[in-house]
Amino acid sequence: MKSLFESFIVAFSMYSKIPMPHIEWSEKSMKYSMCFFPWIGLVIGLLEYLWFLLCGRTGASDLLRSSIAVVIPLLVTGGIHFDGFLDTTDALSSWRTREERLRILKDSHVGAFAVIGACVFFLIALGFASEVSGKTAVCLCLMFAVSRSYSAISVVSFPNANPKGTAAAFGSHARKRMVRRVMIVYLAALYVCLILIDPLAGIFVIAGSVLAFLIYYWTCMHYFGGMTGDLAGFFVSGAELLMLILAVSGDGIGRIWLRG
């Protein structure tokens, strides 16, 4: 039980800005940490849900509702995943050799392509978030746990392009078989909840998560020769945006179908 609690603390200390007790990071305290990674997504989803409820009660504008909804994940995580999105955008946009792309991932400087990518990301996210309504909003609150479940699978399953990186450290200390089994259970439960909440939006969210994971794997292997912590962050941010786009699009298709 102590080992599980320590793994919980490690996961939240690393991947969120939520205050946690200080403990020593060791192989013992890290071996189950990835099992708690999706819990951070559940916290984000709960805050999103409460925010949507508050906006519904107060009659807040769509712009205010969607702006804060887009910002909540960054506030909870401290932007750790979006930092990976920026670094990966720079690396992919360089069109250089694999070694150069890996070097760019490690570079602490922010390039022009990262800035452009961030602007495009937030404009698209803001636009689609402003169209979220009804049960689709509840479905989207679960996508943060879905993206982190897949990310955890990649950490313990994909080859590492940077053996000395943070993702490699978490993967090497993890009970890999246990983490994969737990993530599969999480995903199965989340997918069932999505379908029960809103079948159409749920299907589109599920399709988005699977498509994003396949693209993530291909990107890792084709351009980098494996995964890194930055690539995992790129996946988490990109997958959530894709799930948002598809869920809102699916909701729109459903409305057109009902009117027809």
Has this prediction a pTM greater than 0.85? yes
> Which pLDDT tens digits describe the chain residue by residue (260 residues)?
667 788 888 889 889 998 888 877 666 667 788 889 999 999 999 999 999 999 989 988 989 999 999 999 999 999 999 999 999 999 888 887 888 888 888 877 778 888 999 999 999 999 999 988 878 888 999 999 999 999 999 998 898 877 776 665 565 556 778 889 999 999 999 999 999 998 888 999 999 999 999 999 999 999 998 899 899 999 999 999 999 999 998 766 655 555 55
| Predicted pLDDT at 110 | 79
pLDDT, position 165: 61
pLDDT of residue 232: 94
What integer pLDDT is reported at residue 239 of this predicted model? 96
DSSP-assigned states of every residue in the chain = -HHHHHHHHHHHHHH--S--------HHHHTTGGGGHHHHHHHHHHHHHHHHHHHHHHT--HHHHHHHHHHHHHHHHTTHHHHHHHHHHHHHHH---HHHHHHHHH--SPPHHHHHHHHHHHHHHHHHHTT--HHHHHHHHHHHHHHHHHHHHHHHHSPBS-TTSHHHHHHHHS-HHHHHHHHHHHHHHHHHHHHHH-HHHHHHHHHHHHHHHHHHHHHIIIIISSB-HHHHHHHHHHHHHHHHHHHHHHHHHHHHHHH-
pLDDT at 145: 97
